[in-house]
């Protein structure tokens, strides 16, 4: 499409399902997921890329859902926290978050889980410092960071010992 337009037909795969919609080009990916597809696990916080609540995976890599337009996800594979939960990909993280009480209000949790899963893929045995650094892009306004780091560290250690 080389002429500029204000609406666009998009076709993408979300959590394994093919989705086709006509959307305004100014609609961001997070709002598309929430409002068009009713996948409200992706949260919208700051809307300028700082808080991390809208973190989703596009073509396998985590991105800010508020800093990408749905139009740009045309042809892409998108995974949200619902998809990772249903596929049981983040099952251990979810259990560890419950065990260590790593969520309070829960607003940041979906984004934190998305980021934590990406961290453990890239760095299977991170130090607490590395966990903190990786999660520096995810705000928890309940300030429950200690328990979040505990939970991620516990999963990393469990995975490391089960793979031995």
Question: Which residues make up the interface to other proteins (CB under 8 A)?
Answer: 1-6, 8, 25-26, 28, 31, 47-49, 52, 55, 61-64, 66-69, 71-72, 115, 118-119, 122, 132-134, 136-138
- Radius of gyration over alpha carbons of the chain, in Å? 16
We find the least distance from the C-beta atom of residue 133 to other proteins, in angstroms, to be 5
Q: Which is nearer to other proteins, 91 or 133 (CB)?
A: 133
Please state the closest distance from residue 141 (CB atom) to other proteins, in A: 14
Smallest separation (angstroms) from other proteins to the CB of 59? 9
Smallest distance from other proteins to CB 127, Å:
14
3-state secondary structure of 151: helix
Q: Which is nearer to other proteins, 24 or 40 (CB)?
A: 24
Closer to other proteins by Cβ: residue 6 or 38: 6
Nearer to other proteins by C-beta: 101 or 136?
136
Element holding 130 (H helix, E strand): helix 128-134
**How many residues are listed for the chain in this entry?**
164
Q: Is 6 exposed, middle or buried (0-12, 13-18, 19+ CB in 10 A)?
A: exposed
Shortest distance (Å) from residue 2 CB to other proteins: 5
Report strand pairing: 77-79 vs 7-14.
parallel
Could you give the count of Cα atoms lying within 13 Å of 98 in the half-sphere of its Cβ?
5
Q: What are phi and psi of 128, to 5 degrees?
A: -60, -35
- Calculate the CA dihedral of residues 17, 105, 132, 34 and round it to 10 degrees: 20
When the beta carbons of 85 and 145 are compared against other proteins, the nearer one is 145
């Amino acid at each position: 499409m080389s002429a500029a337009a204000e609406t666009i037909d998009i076709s993408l795969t979300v959590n394994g399902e093919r989705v086709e919609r006509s959307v305004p080009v100014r609609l961001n990916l997070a709002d598309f997921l929430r409002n068009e597809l009713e996948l409200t696990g992706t949260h919208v916080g700051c809307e300028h890329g700082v808080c991390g609540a809208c973190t989703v995976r596009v073509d396998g890599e985590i991105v800010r859902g508020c800093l990408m337009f749905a139009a740009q996800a045309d042809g892409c594979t998108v995974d949200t926290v619902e998809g990772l939960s249903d596929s049981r990909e983040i099952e251990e993280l979810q259990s560890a978050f419950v065990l260590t009480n790593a969520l309070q209000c829960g607003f940041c949790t979906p984004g934190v889980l998305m980021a934590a899963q990406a961290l453990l893929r890239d760095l299977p045995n991170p130090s607490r410092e590395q966990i903190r650094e990786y999660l520096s892009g995810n705000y928890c306004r309940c300030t429950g960071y200690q328990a979040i780091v505990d939970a991620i560290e516990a999963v990393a250690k469990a995975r490391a010992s089960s793979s031995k």
